Each structure stands twice: as C-alpha cells, then as structure tokens.
C-alpha cells in the first residue's frame, strides 16, 4: 500500500473529485459509491485506465453503500488509522438542494452521519467535505431548528478533534465555465504538529491566491464562458451514427476555438466525441425551441418569462435559454432544464461534461437518461455529471491540501 498522500473518496459518484485529486498528485486507496452506473464510469477511467487506486484486498472492487461498508468492515477501517491522510467527498444533497423541494426528512440527509462515522473510524489527518449551497441554511422543523445544517456538521467534527472551516465557493472563479456555488468544508486533526485554526482558515485564502497562476500554467482563464467551452461541439459540424446507440446521431468535432477546448481535447485523436449523442426532438419541440431562443435574446441564462410560458402553455418548472458569452448557470441533473445557446435543442452529455470541466478522454457509462420512478433509483450519464465536483476545481483544491499536509 502506498502511504504518501493517501486518500479515500466517499460518495465518489462518477469520479470528478478523484480525477482532480489524481491530477494534484494524491494517491487513491479506494472509493465508496452506491450507484452501479456511476461506479462503472469511475472504474473505467480511474481504476482501469489510470490505475489510480491501490484497492485493498479486503474490499470488493465494486459499488458499495457506505453504511454496509461501515458495518461489515469496521475492523479493517480502524486498521487504517495513521495511514490515510485525507477523507474527501460529499454526501448526497437532494434534501438540502435549492434546485428542488427541500426536505429535511429526506433519508439521504442522514448519510452525513455516516460520513462522520467513517471519519471517526479512520481518523484522517485532513477532511475535505463538499455539499450544496442550501447546506448553509437553517433547519426549520427538526430538533436543531434555527441552526444551520453546516453548523451541526462543524460541531460534530470539532468534537472528534478537528479544526474546521467552511465557506461557500463559486467554482466559476476557478476556471470552470459555470456559476456553481457549493459549500466547502476543510478539517485538520488538531493533534498534528504545527496545526492550528489559522492554518485551516488560510486554506481558502491560499486556494484563491493560487488560482490565477494555476490556470495560466495550463493556458486557461478564469473568465472562460459557455461558447469557449462547447462551440466546437455544434450539431452543425456534422453528425454520424452514435457509436453506442445505433438509432441516434452523434456529433463530430469542429475546429478548436479556445484554449479551454484545446485543453479538454488534449491527447484526443478521434473525430467523434464520447457521449456526444444528440436528442431526438419532435419537430414541434425544435420549432418551439427556435422561437424561444429568438424571443429570449435579451433574457439569456434566466428562466422563461411569464409571457413566453403563456404563449406556449409551458408548465415545466425550469426552462433556461443559455447565453454564449457568459458562464452557464449551475447545471442540474435534468438536461431539459436548458436550451443550447445557438441550436434549438438540449445539451448533450459531452457538453454537460465540458461545462463541468471533465476532459474529453473521460468516458461515461450507463444509460444516457431515465425518467419516472426510475429517476430515484438509477444514475444515468447526465445525472452523474450534474452531481459531480468539477475536476478542474478539485485539482486546485487538491494542490492546496497537499501543501497543508506537507507543511
């Protein structure tokens, strides 16, 4: 087992955080992810392709539910004390999310206690915790009424012996072409030499200060917009039969038009982008999208106006015509929430991935999308990406975490 910069990724999803930590020089021990679809994506890219994880023999290399791991492998987890430098990840956030209906009784909210129990067993030197913006809001009904969700977690981690600091961070300020604000929490065990609350507090200052030079070295900019991110993926570039679903068409690459596109396509030698399958819209839908784009020319990146909704009798909760020259709003797990900025269609999975800063070599597995009751059980490609931490931000965070560890 490697012992330098060793980490465990909890609620790993399709691997956005792990990819960033990999690029920042961290060594993965294993990742816990409940969804078989999301784990297939992580396994294909980071386990099989990159050989990133030094997976222990005692844990089957497959998707796992965290409470099952805690109950089944307590002895093995306790034996990792002193060997793991970092536990990273963010429990599912649906109960806290402001994008849907907030539900304090959502059983997924309790997975935060599972995260804390895992920390208690393994006792990592550093904790990196991510969750939605709504995580900083107060309870309204539970026994903690009037206390922010984030404060409860902070208190529990402090009681385990960690200096803790949490802050809302906009990933768009770190070179990601998306305005995506998330709650980030850092903890360092307070029995480690030279550790103090000030060291933890300085994480966010260091992260912000280093971002410009980090992006400059990669030829990237903080101000990358949606057009910079996906203009080489237009349907007008041409289509071919989709490699993984024969009844659909997929897009071919256009010319690289920005440094961001060049960075995302680094080492790509083929002409068909992975998961760049176009939806089969009805002609009525295409015509409606075209009209909406024209009518919303002065109202991009905003939900449809009441006038447009009434004109087309639209009942859907969110429909946002995107703006080419701005960062995307926070993308959700529902691709039909957005209309492409210049083509009358929703975004493809690959365009979603670009907006989340996944490089084009990173391939996505499982269904493209799902609906109905299956939506609560399956994690298709759009959902995997919508739930992910952008790797470009995760890499920057990983570098600062390594610096903290070395100091």
Helix axes 111-122, 149-159, angle to 10 degrees: 20
- Give me the half-sphere count of Cα atoms (radius 13 Å) on the Cβ side of residue 158: 13
Query: Alpha helix (H) ranges present in 240-340?
Result: 259-264, 283-295, 306-312
Biggest CA–CA distance in the chain, Å, is: 66
Closest CA to 35 of 394, 392, 364: 364
53 secondary structure, DSSP code = B
Q: List C-alpha distances in Å: 101 to 32, 95, 96, 380.
A: 27, 8, 8, 21
For the chain, what's the residue count?
A: 407
* 93 catalytic residue (yes or no): yes
Angle at 218 between CA 217 and CA 224, to 5 degrees: 115
Torsion sign over Cα 384, 385, 388, 391:
positive
CA distance 41 to 46: 8
Number of CB atoms found within 10 A of residue 253's CB: 18
The active-site residue out of 6, 32, 93, 122 is 93
Q: Strand, coil or helix: what is 300?
A: coil
Q: Which residues belong to the active site? A: 93
């Amino acid at each position: 087992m490697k012992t330098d910069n060793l980490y465990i990724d909890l609620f790993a999803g399709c691997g956005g955080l792990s990819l960033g930590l990999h690029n920042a020089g961290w060594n993965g021990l294993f990742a816990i992810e409940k969804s078989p679809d999301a784990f297939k994506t992580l396994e294909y890219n980071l386990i099989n392709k990159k050989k990133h994880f030094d997976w222990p023999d005692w844990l089957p290399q497959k998707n796992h539910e965290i409470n099952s791991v805690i109950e089944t492998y307590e002895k093995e987890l306790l034996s990792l004390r002193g060997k793991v430098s970092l536990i990273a990840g963010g429990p599912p956030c649906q109960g806290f999310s402001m994008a849907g209906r907030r539900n304090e009784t959502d059983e997924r909210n309790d997975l935060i206690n599972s995260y804390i129990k895992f920390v208690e067993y393994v006792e990592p030197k550093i904790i990196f915790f991510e969750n939605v913006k709504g995580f900083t809001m107060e309870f309204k009904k539970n026994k903690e009424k009037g206390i922010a969700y984030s404060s409860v977690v902070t208190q529990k981690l402090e009681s385990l012996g960690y200096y803790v600091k949490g802050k809302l961070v906009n990933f768009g300020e770190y070179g990601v072409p998306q305005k995506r604000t998330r709650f980030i929490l850092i903890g360092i065990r307070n029995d480690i030499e030279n550790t103090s609350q000030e060291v933890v507090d300085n994480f966010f200052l260091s992260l912000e200060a280093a971002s410009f030079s980090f992006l400059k070295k990669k030829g990237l900019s903080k101000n990358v917009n949606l057009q910079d991110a996906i203009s080489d993926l237009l349907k007008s570039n041409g289509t071919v039969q989709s490699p993984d679903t024969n009844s659909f068409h997929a897009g071919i690459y256009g010319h690289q038009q920005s440094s961001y596109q060049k960075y995302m396509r680094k080492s790509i030698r083929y002409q068909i982008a992975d998961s760049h399958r176009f939806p089969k819209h009805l002609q009525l839908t295409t015509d409606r999208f075209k009209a909406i784009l024209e009518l919303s020319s002065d109202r991009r990146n905003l939900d449809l106006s009441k006038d447009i909704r009434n004109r087309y009798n639209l009942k859907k909760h969110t429909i946002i015509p995107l703006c080419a020259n701005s960062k995307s709003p926070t993308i959700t797990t529902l691709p039909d929430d957005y209309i492409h900025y210049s083509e009358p269609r929703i975004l493809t999975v690959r365009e979603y991935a670009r907006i989340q800063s996944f490089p084009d070599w990173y391939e996505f597995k499982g269904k493209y999308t799902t609906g109905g009751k299956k939506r609560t059980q399956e994690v298709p490609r759009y959902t995997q990406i919508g739930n992910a931490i952008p790797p470009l931000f995760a890499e920057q965070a990983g570098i600062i975490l390594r610096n903290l560890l070395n100091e």
